[in-house]
Amino acid sequence: MNRFLKLVHMEIHRFRWVLIGLLSITAVCQISALIWTLKKALAQKEEQLLGDIGRSSYYADVPDIITFEWAMFNTQMWFILPILLCIGVLSVYVFFVWYRDWMGRNTFIYRLLMLPTARHNLYFAKITAFLLFVFTIVAFQLILLPVEEFVLKLVVPADLRAESHILDVLTINQALVELIPRQFEQFFYKYGLGTVAVLAIFTAILLERSYRRWGILYGLLYLLGCVLVVTSPIFYFGLNSQIIYLYPNEIYLLAMFLFILVASVSVWLGIRLLAKKITV
């Protein structure tokens, strides 16, 4: 366990500045957009009070009382962009976390494979670090919400603002709806599906590293097979609605079973390739 934790620490340490950069960009984009939106809304309200409702009105209808919920709705784009950036960087990291060790200076992977620890620790360390990065970004977004609400209170006078419920804020901003689902089943489904996809990609990468040119074909076929297995209930029951013999809960359980099956096969095959096929 101690060696596994050291490997996880190493992966986090190597990615730390990228993660800090992503979190910083997220905070700067969202807080700046929030302040700009509030300042613009207050300026427009002042123009309306002076009777100068003109051509330069940015918002069609600024409410008499500004709420955090209204501000979140009108800054959705500046929430979506940094979140998409985080998703894009983490998607690249799924490949980078393996190929960096092979393509980097002094082929660092061989030093890792020669460590006095089971090779499966290396596999689990990489997926653990990836999940920690994902949930760090989610947690940081949750921490940002009270900070942004405090910023709203600093910018908007007390007589022009009202309190908002956090659930209303999470519901009205589409970026937050996708990032932080309100129901546990949706949260488990989205992030569980993402984890299964990452495990399948890890195995495809190890297939490519094990068999080189042929490995590219094996990896692509493996990913295609995983997609077909996971989506088979959707295609079958969706295209054959006349012959469905399962209740919705049973279809859901079947889909969960297939996700677990793909994840288990991916982990088993990935560890086996790392232990048996990749040699120093």
Give CA–CA dist 182/128, Å, rounded.
24
Instruction: Return the percentage of the chain with pLDDT > 70, whole number.
Output: 86
Which pairs count as long-range contacts for 264-271, CB under 8 Å and 24+ apart, including other chains?
266/196, 266/199, 266/200, 266/202, 266/203, 266/226, 267/123, 267/199, 267/203, 269/203, 269/206, 269/207, 269/222, 270/123, 270/199, 270/202, 270/203, 270/206, 271/119, 271/120, 271/123
For helices 120-155 and 184-239, the axis angle rounded to 10 degrees is 110
pLDDT at 94: 92
Res. 61: pLDDT tops 70: no
Q: Residue 65 — pLDDT band, cuts 50, 70, 90?
A: confident
Query: How far is CA 234 from each of CA 155, 224, 254, rounded to the nearest angstrom?
Result: 49, 16, 11
What phi and psi, each to the nearest 5 degrees, are found at residue 67? Answer: -115, 160
Give the pLDDT score at 36: 93
Q: Which residue has the tokens 């290396």?
A: 122
User: Which residues neighbour 98 within 8 Å (Cβ) at sequence distance 6 or greater?
Assistant: 126, 202, 205, 206, 209
Task: Find the mean pLDDT for residues 147-154.
Answer: 91
Residue 82 pLDDT > 70 = yes
- Per residue in 195-222, pLDDT tens? 999 999 999 999 988 887 888 899 999 9
The string of pLDDT tens digits covering residues 244-257 is: 566 667 777 888 88
For the record, the structure tokens of 253 come out as 């359980």
- The residue-averaged pLDDT of 230-235 equals 76
Model pLDDT, residue 55: 47
Computed over every residue of the chain, the mean pLDDT equals 84
Domain-wise residue ranges, the chain:
1-180, 183-280
